[in-house]
Chains A and B, each alone.
Chain A
Amino acid sequence: MRRAEAGLFGAGRVIMYWQDGEQIRRTLEVVFNDILTTRMHDMPVLNPALAVRALGFEPYDADWPGVLITPWFMNVLLLPSAESRWVTQAPGSKFEQAFPYGSFEFTVADEAQLGRYAQCSLFSPMFEFADQAAAEAAADSALQALLTSPAPRAISRRDLLRGNLARP
């Protein structure tokens, strides 16, 4: 991990350019476990059956996309590399990012121990999930679909009857 002091983004703001998926997953789990026991302590939005778990975060285009599961949310997260363009945006601003599955709107976030990252919400809160295995299965399928499969095309009745099933 390379830390770059970025005077442009206010004093003390640090941008981290990640170089290793394992390191990202470990750091996210440490940081959000810490948030769970401190800032989120006693909040009524926690599902006690779940634990913090980071999945994915392998390089894709200029970013490190993955899914973060916590007892209170599940988000798609983007962590920056040196090539990521959105890191220069202020926290709270939004940008669109294209994936094979489609285009998604991400919000820029900033956390002292993580630096800049971007997020797109999948679930919040997490009471629907009966156990950790279910949450991880959901995260896996979302992440796989995001990065590989094209969005399913709705086939009109006319196309169906004419046998026109090819993608445009």
Chain B
Amino acid sequence: MIETFYDVMRRQGITRRSFLKFCSLTAASLGLSPAFAPKIAHAMETKPRIPVLWLHGLECTCCSESFIRSGHPLAKDVILSMLSLDYDDTIMAAAGHNAEAIVTEIVEKYKGNYILAVEGNPPLAEDGMYCIIGGKPFVEQLKYAAESCKAIISWGSCASWGCVQAAKPNPTRATPVHKVPGLADKPIIKVPGCPPIAEVMTAVVAYLLTFDKLPTLDKQGRPQMFYSQRIHDKCYRRPHFDAGQFVEQWDDEAARQGHCLYKMGCKGPTTYNACSTVKWNEGTSFPIQSGHGCIGCSEDGFWDKGSFYDRLTGINQFGIEANADVVGGTAAAIVGAGVAAHAGLTALSRAKQAGDKQPGAQQ
């Protein structure tokens, strides 16, 4: 008899009522209409649970810390049982050779049918000797596990972009997952952030498990539903930016009034993430709400982009990013009525509420 996610949840003592509530919350956080909740419930009741192999390379464990504190109290129980985190060196019970044996067991038993979640990245210098797991370089474990997996989730900025260990001069040649030479060609979902938002992490996993396919990704490989808007676009302090009301120094009158932190180095205008909408700690707050600018932790190479307090002045960094897909390219100037009219419509659609879709349009 196959074991479904629902079976596992029930065994963990989660009530049906809580389970259904979790399904509606997940539908909402995915920006799907409430009509999707029964679909998610049905998938969880009927599909066999998929093992998730969670590997750790060079990292600080903030992704795991964020994940196990997923906003809704249910998520802790539901997601952990749903995931069957058979191997995660932060929370698994096994140790030593027993633990390493689990990796081999999952790879062989679930060939082609498990999700590989990677937190951190492998250092490639000196044949990978700067990160040793079970006596072998981490890069070897990563390649071995990637060979037979279904898809890879790159958790956090380390796995997605490299993060602090890859900052110049990057002495260990820490390398983000998608740039590891010789890695099996598998779909990679990047969930950047240092750490990523817990609700975003659980929603990405829930989407993968219930719909059995990848969420729509942008050109940089990030799930569009959470990374298509900048902090700036949905910031509650945005009216102050538009009205030219800026904090000039820490603790001045404007700071006390909660004006815009752009002049204090806020990276909100160049950072794609869901902090200003989903927020942190069960939707309590986010950095800007506590009075500090965004440091842009979910952007590629954020450690090498100068001080957190340097004002964004490079017009190219700031100006051309009308959407995440044109970063690095030069956005064509909008000239002529036809092109302009289209640009207006595109902006309007982008501004529309994520959940405001007709069910048929999502797939």
Contact = CB atoms under 8 A, between A and B. Distances in A.
Are A and B genuine complex partners?
Answer: yes
Interface of A: 35-36, 38-40, 43-45, 70, 72-76, 91-94, 96, 101-105, 107-111, 119-125, 127-131, 133-142, 145-146, 151, 153-156, 159, 168
Nearest to A149: B345
Contacts of B236: 92-94, 107
A96 B234 CA distance: 13
A103 B356 contact: yes
Interface string B159-172: 00000000000000
B144 to A, nearest CB: 39
A146 B353 CA distance: 13
Contact of A125 (B319, B335, B336, B342): B319
Contact of B243 (A43, A111, A138): A111
Contacts of B344: 122, 137-142, 145
A135 B334 CA distance: 8
A102 B353 contact: yes
Contact of A128 (B244, B322, B363): B322
Contact of B347 (A38, A103, A123): A123
B353 A128 contact: no
5 contacts: A43-B244, A120-B351, A125-B318, A137-B336, A137-B337
A42 to B, nearest CB: 11
B351 A129 contact: no
Nearest to A168: B358
Given A101-B352, A154-B361, A72 B331 contact: no
Contact of A109 (B232, B243, B315): B243
A134 B343 CA distance: 9
Contacts of A43: 244
B312 to A, nearest CB: 8
B341 interface: yes
Given A104-B353, A142-B345, A119 B242 contact: yes
Nearest to A146: B348
Contacts of A140: 341, 344
Contacts of B234: 105, 121
In the A-B complex, the 5 residue pairs with the closest CB atoms? A39-B244, A109-B239, A138-B344, A127-B319, A137-B340
A122 B351 contact: yes
Nearest to A139: B344
Interface in B316-345: 318-320, 322, 331, 333-337, 339-345
B241 interface: yes
Contacts of A145: 344-345, 348
A75 B241 CA distance: 12
Contact of B334 (A35, A44, A96, A130): A130
A43 B322 CA distance: 19
